[in-house]
């Protein structure tokens, strides 16, 4: 563990990734809090704090200025435009955004649209001309998509949660565009990808005999809100929740979001200097959640076993570190590819 040391973290990441162009700013990181309802393509923003992104201006290293494909992540459209100006005519540009930018940065979004026209490129809004029908079955979802390009047979989504419907739609439209540009992606391959993709520790349901654990790495209010929406729909009666969090996370807010969906809250900790103690989390929870039963079980594995005494399904959430420890216990061997 690097103990939260940014220098140590960067050295470890450099062994796995090319960090050319990585910048570290001084100040708080970007924060977004929102909630998902049953409107499949819509997230409601509750709070957005730009923090270091408020003054950030991207500088693209020369070696990255001639990409065939470019993905502009979800951030201020002006920053997306700054990146686009620094690269040389990529064949495909994918751009993510959210309602916060659409409502407050319409002029900047218009600049992106004009830039698309000037480059004789096609701007594709994933939801336009696309219909989606959704059926729920035992916590999973089956979607029937019809896009301007193809009509797909009903396809079960491997990833759980209604917010994944919108993600699947964007992925399908992007893959269709790749197919149009000459990278062969068949309808069969797209359906197989949707139904077989894996995202460990994101609404990750694991079974041991007749007992199950829903492991979710939600470690901020936005992630916890998505988890809470899933629990409200699929397990309206609530489930025992094992919760652990780092000291620098808004754990009181996260516990408040989860409490309405818990039959019991078991606070635990994980093996990191950043971890908040189970005792302190439990004390905070008792002050916050009223009549809900709260326990303190410092060992995560023991905490899950304790929760199983209440119900055959247990939810684990609050930290990527906690999720990792539970996955290492429940799924000790890496999946074969």
What residue ranges do the domains of the chain occupy? 14-118, 131-196, 204-330
Residue 194 confidence (pLDDT): 97
Superfamily in which the 204-330 domain is placed by CATH? Mur ligase, C-terminal domain (3.90.190.20)
Q: Per residue in 103-160, pLDDT tens?
A: 777 776 677 777 777 777 777 888 889 999 999 877 789 999 999 999 999 999 999 9
Q: What is the DSSP string of 59-99?
A: ---GGGSS-SEEEE-SS-HHHHHHHHHTS---SEEEE---H
Residue 124 confidence (pLDDT): 82
Tokens of 11: 């050295």
Residue 39 confidence (pLDDT): 45
* pLDDT < 70: residue spans in the chain: 1-6, 34-44, 108-109, 333-337
What b-and-e string marks burial along 45-57, b requiring 16 or more CB atoms within 10 Å of the CB? beebebeeeeebe
Residue 3 confidence (pLDDT): 47
Residue 5 confidence (pLDDT): 67
């Amino acid at each position: 563990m690097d103990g939260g040391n940014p220098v140590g973290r960067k050295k470890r990441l450099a062994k796995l990734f090319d960090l050319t162009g990585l910048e570290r700013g001084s100040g708080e990181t970007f924060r977004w809090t929102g909630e998902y309802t049953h409107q499949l393509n819509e997230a409601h923003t509750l709070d957005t704090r730009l923090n270091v992104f408020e003054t950030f201006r991207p500088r693209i290293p020369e070696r990255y200025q001639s990409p065939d494909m470019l993905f502009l992540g979800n951030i201020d459209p002006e920053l997306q435009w700054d990146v686009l100006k620094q690269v040389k005519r990529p064949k495909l540009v994918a751009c993510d955004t959210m309602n916060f930018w659409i409502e407050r940065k319409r002029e900047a979004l218009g600049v992106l649209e004009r830039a698309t026209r000037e480059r004789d490129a096609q701007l594709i809004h994933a939801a336009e001309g696309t219909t989606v029908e959704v059926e729920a079955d035992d916590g999973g979802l089956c979607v029937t998509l019809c896009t301007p390009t193809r009509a797909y047979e009903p396809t079960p989504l491997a990833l759980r949660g209604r917010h994944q419907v919108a993600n699947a739609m964007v992925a399908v439209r992007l893959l269709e565009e790749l197919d149009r540009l000459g990278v062969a992606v068949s309808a069969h391959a797209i359906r197989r990808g949707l139904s077989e993709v894996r995202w460990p520790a994101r609404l990750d349901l694991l079974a041991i005999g007749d007992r199950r654990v829903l492991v979710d790495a939600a470690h901020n209010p936005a992630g916890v809100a998505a988890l809470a929406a899933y629990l409200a729909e699929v397990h309206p009666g609530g489930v025992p929740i094992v919760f652990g969090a780092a000291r620098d996370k808004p754990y009181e807010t996260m516990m408040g979001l989860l409490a309405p969906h818990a039959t019991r809250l078991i606070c635990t900790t994980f093996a990191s200097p950043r971890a908040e103690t189970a005792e302190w989390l439990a004390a905070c929870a008792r002050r916050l959640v009223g009549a809900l039963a709260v326990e303190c079980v410092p060992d995560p594995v023991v905490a899950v076993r304790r929760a199983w005494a209440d119900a055959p399904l247990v939810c684990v959430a609050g930290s990527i570190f906690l999720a990792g420890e539970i996955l290492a216990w429940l799924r000790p061997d890496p999946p074969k590819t």
